Amino acid sequence: MAKVSLNNISKTYDEKEYAVLNCNLEIEDREFVVLVGPSGCGKSTTLRMVAGLESVSSGEIMIGDMVVNHIPPKDRDIAMVFQNYALYPHMTVFDNMAFGLKLRRFSKNEISERVLHAAKILNIEPFLHRKPRELSGGERQRVAVGRAIVRKPQVFLFDEPLSNLDAKMRVQMRTEISRLHKRLQTTMIYVTHDQVEAMTMGDRIVVMNKGEIQQVADPLTIYEHPRNLFVAGFIGSPPMNFFSGKIISAGSILQFVIKGMSLQLTHEMNKKMHSYINQEVIMGIRPEKIYDKLFAKTATDTNTITASVEVVEQMGSEMFTYLKNESADFVARLDAHEQLEPGQDMELVFDMSKCHFFEPGTGINLVD
């Protein structure tokens, strides 16, 4: 059990481009932190630096109170689970799990005790004498997790461990890993590009893009108070709607306008956005903060617009409705039972208290 600190970590493979740039991150003891971001953003590189599989170009990594930059992986007291399991095909499940302990010269009894215990937790007892090729993907991933937990490391590292599994298995393993975390009370760093995994599993989420950390916060904060345009667009499905327009002042009230459409800012927003009058901004609003006027509680002339239905995606519990008018395309998350036909016009109400404004150049969230 230990905390992990990244102090100004950078990594370059070719001395030209940075795969990871100036990352600062404090991971508390027993915390479950998820690194999430698009492909190639440097998640794996960051994790592999913590593991010691990749050298650190600059900066300092600490596990516990120890700077580990130059300590080889085997002495860092970490365990890692890989996307493609990386089990040893010539060893049985038991031997796969016992291998690390054997190398560390644990006694035979201790080894079999630990392996059996882990096998029990993970429900892989019946497979202990099979070879990896005789297992299904989900079972293999369990063995890979088992191999990590028998070592009782200070930190667990997961690199997209579930992305080779089918959807159902993924959901099941997701809860299992969460449960495992509660049970083992060990620091875990989990890499994924799946935002659902990030939202559901992490105590805190680290959103990365192009090698840089965009925001570190708990899932709800990330969702409701994204620090910039990237985080706002990356987390959430369907993603946040963005509109490029302008802030104008109509007397004491501010309005956001795009072509024919104008929306009035709430009082709170008014204060924050005062200095942006007559400037271009990007407004963002989540699909579930757009309502059908027929059912909206707070419809007024100043937060309602008309748009025509383009496509309706029925999800059963809800309905993603893709809408279009002369000034914008956007998506709203409406009740599954609404009767909507593509091509029909409808009136929509924007919950302006829940919208965000971003600066177009830097992408910074101006209201949070």
Partner 1 sequence: MYKNIEDLSLSKLGIHVFLIGVSISCLLPLIWMIASSLKTQDAIFTNMSLWPEVFKFSNYTEAWKGGRFGTYFLNSLFYTVTVIFFIVLFSSMAAFAFSRLDFPGKNILFYMFIGVMMIPIPGVFVAIFVILNKLSLINTRVGYILPQINAGLPFSIYLLKTFFDKIPKEMEDSAKIDGCSKWQIYWHVALPLAKSAIAVIVIFNALSTWNEFLLANLIFSDADLMPLQVGLLKFQGERVTEYPQLMAGMTMTTAFIIVTYLFMQRFIIKGITAGAVKG
Ligand X SMILES: Nc1ncnc2c1ncn2[C@@H]1O[C@H](COP(=O)(O)OP(=O)(O)OP(=O)(O)O)[C@@H](O)[C@H]1O
CB of 42 to ligand X, least distance (A): 4
* Binds ligand X by CB under 6 A, chosen from 6, 43, 154, 232: 43
Of 233, 326, 267, whose CA–CA distance to 38 is shortest?
A: 233
Contact partner, 132, from Mg ion, ligand X, partner 1, none, Cβ < 5-8 Å per class: partner 1
- Return the range that interacts with ligand X (CB under 6 A); candidates 33-41, 133-141, 220-228, 231-239: 33-41
- Return the range that interacts with ligand X (CB under 6 A); candidates 38-46, 165-173, 230-238, 334-342: 38-46
**Residues 6+ positions from 250 with CB-CB distance below 8 Å:** none
Residue 184: other Cβ atoms inside 10 A: 16
- What's the CA dihedral at 238, 240, 244, 245 to 10 degrees? 130
Could you give the CA distance from residue 169 to residue 65 in angstroms, rounded to a whole number? 37
Phi, psi values for residue 46, rounded to 5°: -60, -45
Residues forming the site for Mg ion (CB under 5 A): 44
Q: Which helix (H) or strand (E) holds 46?
A: helix 43-51
* Binds partner 1 by CB under 8 A, chosen from 66, 67, 90, 179: 90
Q: Verify binding: residue 13, ligand X, rule CB under 6 A.
A: yes
Could you give the CA distance from residue 92 to residue 112 in angstroms, rounded to a whole number? 13
Which of residues 192 and 303 has its CB atom nearest to partner 1 in the complex?
192
* Binds partner 1 by CB under 8 A, chosen from 1, 3, 53, 257: 53
Q: How many residues make up the chain in this entry? A: 368
Q: Please, are residues 142 and 132 in contact by the beta-carbon 8 Å criterion?
A: no
- Residues numbered 164 to 223 that lie near ligand X (CB under 6 A) are 193
Q: Please, are residues 308 and 323 in contact by the beta-carbon 8 Å criterion?
A: yes
- Residues numbered 316 to 345 that lie near partner 1 (CB under 8 A) are none
* Binds ligand X by CB under 6 A, chosen from 15, 16, 39, 278: 39
Contact partner, 45, from partner 1, Mg ion, ligand X, none, Cβ < 5-8 Å per class: ligand X
For the packed helices 93-103 and 108-122, what is the interaxial angle rounded to 10 degrees?
130
Which of residues 90 and 267 has its CB atom nearest to partner 1 in the complex?
90
Q: Verify binding: residue 84, partner 1, rule CB under 8 A.
A: yes
Which residues make up the interface to ligand X (CB under 6 A)? 13, 19, 37, 39-45, 193
